[in-house]
Structure 1
Amino acid sequence: MSTTDAGRFARYPSLKDRVVLVTGGASGIGAELVAQFAAQGSRVAFLDFDDFGGQQVAARTGALFRHCDLRDVAALRADVANVAAQLGPVTVLINNAARDDRHGRETVEPEYWDERMHTNLRHQFFCAQAVAPMMRDAGQGSIICFGSVSWMKAQGGMPAYTTAKAAVHGLARGLARDLGPSGIRCNVVVPGWIFTERQETLWATPEAVASALERQCLKEKLYPPDIARMVLWLAADDSRMVTAQTFVVDGGSI
């Protein structure tokens, strides 16, 4: 299923003209998020360091693409400010960007560990920090952080990634408490194994897919639109009293 199935699913009037910022929007789940919010009539911007993919998504959706290495906090802050200057105050932030590269515990050095934290965790805080004053002034906002089922399933082979993703939950709940008095919500979406092009290319062997489906209650592969529809609801006013919560979209695998 894709954005072409939009007629089958909900439209959210509260998302029309709302300024939405997506991190990691040049491919995979992020690209689908950009497309889905654009289809809702939102004013969408996304940050990514993939210029080729970003330009393609921007051309296809009409969204504003800003080249940004999210590990560079100064660049991140400047690009968030640029988005607000062009589109208006950001009131929906989707902290989607991450990389689930596999790595053995024996080979991890401090420099690699720090880089994985910067790639998968640190930017989620600094993006939230950058948009919080805009949301406070607007009297409302929705921050949606992305976790992972990997640590919930005790998955090995990438300890820095699973550590960072587990920490997202603590970050989101703390932000929900601190920002709630300003009408700002913060929740976590936890994707299961979502079959993006990257996943299909690198890890989706027939044996791995069969094992994943065996574990799931619903015996279907999950795709980016399955995640996007949960994110749309959390961004819209329909979920206005939902905060500090975790939503797992994994077909019932954990």
Structure 2
Amino acid sequence: MVTGTGPVCDPAASLAGKSVLITGGGSGIGAALTLGFLSAGAKVTIVQNQDGSAFCDQAEQHTGTRPHFINCDLTDVPALKRSFAQTRETQGPISVLINNAANDQRHSTEEVSEAFWDWSQSINLKAQFFACQAAVADMRSIGGGSIINLSSISYMMGNAGYPVYVAAKAGITGMTRSLAREFGADNIRVNALIPGWVMTERQKTLWATEDAVAAHLERQAIKQVLMPQDMVGPALFLASNMSFGMTGQALVVDGGVVATG
């Protein structure tokens, strides 16, 4: 009889020393995740297009451990795959992949060109798929792993103002379910983490007006804004043995805006 690994009470107990790759791990939600996994004793590589050197300095000061930074255009699939090879050489086979990077640039249907559609799908959906593909061999070689794909409640709410992004986020949930079935026999778990409106610096700078935030809080059951660090606990849970029997699922962390089940 094949048995599971069993849960542990502390995520750090099953994440210490593990090799973790986080796309977009140097800003916003990704930065909070990087700090959280470093604090849990994991070895973390950040893969993103923006320079992450200053954040790596801050992370090292905060946690005592420096993340490894790889500058990479995630829409360049060969370069993305090379970043996985570099991560493997630097910190060992990847045990946890967090597909966090995204771009929620606002747009209307009428203004969308074919080029914009392709670019948005490339960063928001295509990069996640090929990152999953690149991680599988590592996870098989070590007997399993955890993939966490960040989606968004935007598609569950039917939000207007960025339809191409919303389409990609819906696609992520469908992809997650399919890959969970495909990789389950290899003890590779694939789940979606679905945040609500998280007040990153980008959101506060571009869209989080006082009226917009107040209107959103009216929809939330919990009347407090969500911050990037509020995604850390759920991500640690999905990555660790605490969720060993959980795959193909969508974990919504939105303060109670949408209902699942």
**Alignment pair present for 1:50 and 2:54:** no
Aligned equivalents of 1:151, 1:177: Cα separation in 2: 23
Counterpart mapping for 1:53-68 below 5 A:
54-61=52-59, 62-68=66-72
Confirm whether residue 71 of structure 1 aligns to residue 75 of structure 2. Answer: yes
Is 1:109 paired with 2:113? yes
User: How many angstroms does 1:11 deviate by?
Assistant: 4.9
- Percent of residue pairs bearing the same amino acid type: 45
SS of residue in 1 equivalent to 2:75 = coil
Aligned to 2:180: 176
Task: Quote the offset at 1:33 in angstroms.
Answer: 0.6
Matched, 1:126 2:130: yes
Residue type of the partner of 2:25? G
Could you tell me how far apart the structure 2 residues matched to 1:115 and 1:202 are? 20
| Per-residue deviation, 1:225 | 1.1
**Contact 2:12–2:41 at 8 Å: present in 1 too?**
no
Residues 144-183 of structure 1 mapped to structure 2, 5 A cutoff: 144-183=148-187
- Tell me the secondary structure at the aligned position of residue 118 of structure 1: helix
Unaligned 5+ residue runs, structure 2? Answer: 1-8, 60-65
Shift of 1:12: 2.2
The equivalent residue for 2:62 is: none
The alignment yields a C-alpha RMSD, in angstroms, of 1.1
Query: How far apart, in 2, do the equivalents of 1:185 and 1:220 lie?
Result: 31
Distance in 2, matches of 1:10 and 1:48, equals 29
Determine whether 1:142 maps to 2:140: no
Distance 2:218 2:190 in 1: 32
Tell me how far apart the structure 1 counterparts of residues 54 and 89 of structure 2 sit (CA, whole Å). Answer: 23
2:28 pairs with 1:24: no
Shift of 1:26: 1.7
* In 2: Cα distance, 1:127 partner to 1:159 partner: 23
User: Please, which of 225, 232, 238 is the counterpart of residue 234 of structure 1?
Assistant: 238
Equivalents in 1 of 2:78, 2:210: separation in Å?
A: 43
Structure 1 residues 139-186: Cα deviation after superposition (integer angstroms, max 9, x where no partner) = 110000011111111100111100000000111111100100000000
* Aligned position for 1:12: 12
| Matching residue's letter, 1:47 | V
**Residue-pair matches, total:** 244
Kindly provide the amino acid, as one letter, of the partner of residue 197 in structure 1. E
Deviation at 1:58, TM superposition (A): 1.4
- SS of the equivalent of 1:12 reads helix
Aligned equivalents of 2:248, 2:38: Cα separation in 1: 26
Q: 1:57–1:63: 8 Å Cα contact kept in structure 2?
A: no
Matches within 5 A, 1:168-207: 168-207=172-211
TM-score, length of structure 2 as denominator length: 0.92
Query: Which 4+ stretches in 1 moved above 6 angstroms?
Result: none
Shift of 1:217: 0.3
Deviation, 1:69, is: 0.5
Please name the residue that 2:5 is paired with: none
**Residue from 222, 225, 231 that aligns with 2:229:** 225
Shift of 1:60: 2.0
Distance 1:97 1:218 in 2: 26
Letter in 1 for 2:224: E
How far is 1:137 from its partner? 1.1
User: What is the alpha-carbon distance in structure 2 between the residues aligned to residue 85 and residue 59 of structure 1?
Assistant: 22
Query: What whole-Å deviation, never above 9, does each CA across 1:55-78 have from its counterpart, x for those lacking one?
Result: 122112210000011000010001
Distance in 2 between residues matched to 1:13 and 1:59, nearest whole Å: 26
